[in-house]
Structure 1
């Protein structure tokens, strides 16, 4: 299933969940369930933004965007993060109103059933989005999955709290739960924003991924002397790699080209889609830094 189809499904799930949560709030008058419904409105808006961003990101490179449109997904994730933060403040405001003007919660069990159905739906879809997003290296789908799962955990907390109200008579639980929802949404929104900004700022991959790529370069650069100034960045589903490759001055262009092709094939086998730029230099340009290809490497 393509990313665009997944984005359409995500929008459909968000609309269904919103309908269930709105019904839960309408039949109970619960401030906490109202807060949960408000968050789901943002899910719908975010799903639309994610769909548009994915369609834009899949466009091929053109004269104005020679490296493609991949970063559009990060823009979508940032917009979604910002909306999540705004939602957190709106929910917090509603919880304060609940403390100042307590509302008796009516028919909590019908609300629990409706909200629980929406929560289970989001649980299944949130994990599905994360799995597909990580497999496709899609920032928009991963952000969407994180957002949906944040809704799930707060949903379970709301259900547990509302179930206690009929037995305890503690109606202050309702605004308290809404405040806890706001705190959790704020936490998730901040983490989503941090990850999205890191992608736009071309943050390097984690050390484990960097080491794996360095090993691939060393293993496939037999005949070269050194690889230095290695720079790697991930933009959605595409990895950009560039480095300088030092070779003996007597080596022919054909042999150097063969080495570069071998390195590129090796890297793509490990990381998938990649744009690779290798700058070839003669041996007097060696810096004795980066990947030094020893005699053992040459024998490999």
Structure 2
């Protein structure tokens, strides 16, 4: 495929794919009566609601900074992944409930060939979309796309497990395998939901930038080594697609303010050029002054 699409375009595509897979999986459940396929369809319903909520959060995250939100609204993306994690947990509970009922009242499965074909077709749609969304997540550094892509891949593996299990049911006649598969699906998506919720919590707690981004920052600062300056109290954080850095730049005490400010501007421009989406804030200090800070000198 070509270059990754934009965040909103991918999320709209996710909505369309979710509608298509809900239709295919519901059809598969209707013709077979399999509670395993029903659990698969319920997970696709979660995909649909999550994609719609993610679209809303992305639009909020793109709002410019204002008086009440001077750092912008980028953290809104984390609400999307947290919301998706909660939806997944709710879907898992519903799936387990349906599976327990089927254990108590087993039913024969019908038209498994059609049902499995429809399930495989929906998995192909989700697999292709998940691959494209993960590429977009890397390009745009979007936790929303990453969360959706991971959930879609969970859906793909879930469907693969359901298909394999139903083939065993057809070969062995063991009807108890069908609800057992549904419980396995529930546990798997519950694990993924916990992962997404934890990512959301980490983002809201102002985590430091990723190690590879920190290496880029250190490399950029090292380019200014020929100047008689030094940097310390480097503090980084991330919020959605945005990255922030605060640091102190010590310059010779006999420099004019204009000269020091001009070099600071060069450093800020270099940082923001080398790390797209980075917002830099640099405090100027004379070389013989050490600022007191309760924060760590590096993150």
TM-score in terms of structure 2 length: 0.92
Aligned to 2:189: 185
- Contact 1:220 1:266 (C-alpha < 8 Å) held by counterparts: no
Q: Deviations over 1:190-224 (max 9, x none)?
A: 11111111111111123343233123223235424
Aligned position for 1:29: 33
1:65-214 mapped onto 2 (5 Å cutoff) = 65-214=69-218
Secondary structure of the corresponding residue to residue 233 of structure 2: strand
- SS of 1:229's partner is strand
Deviations 1:130-154 (A, max 9, x none): 1102211111111111111110100
Moved over 4 A (4+): none
Aligned position for 1:229: 233
Runs of 5+ unmatched residues, structure 2:
none
SS in 1 for 2:72: coil
Deviation sequence 1:89-146 (CA, Å, 0-9, x none): 2212222222222121111111101111101100000111111022111111111111
- Measure the CA separation in 2 of the matches of 1:211 and 1:84: 35
What TM-score do you get using the length of structure 1 for normalisation? 0.91
Equivalences for residues 250-289 of structure 1 within 5 A: 250-286=254-290
Any stretches of 5+ residues in structure 1 without a counterpart?
A: 292-300
Aligned-residue offset at 1:8: 1.2
Check whether the contact 2:268–2:281 (CA below 8 A) recurs between aligned residues: no
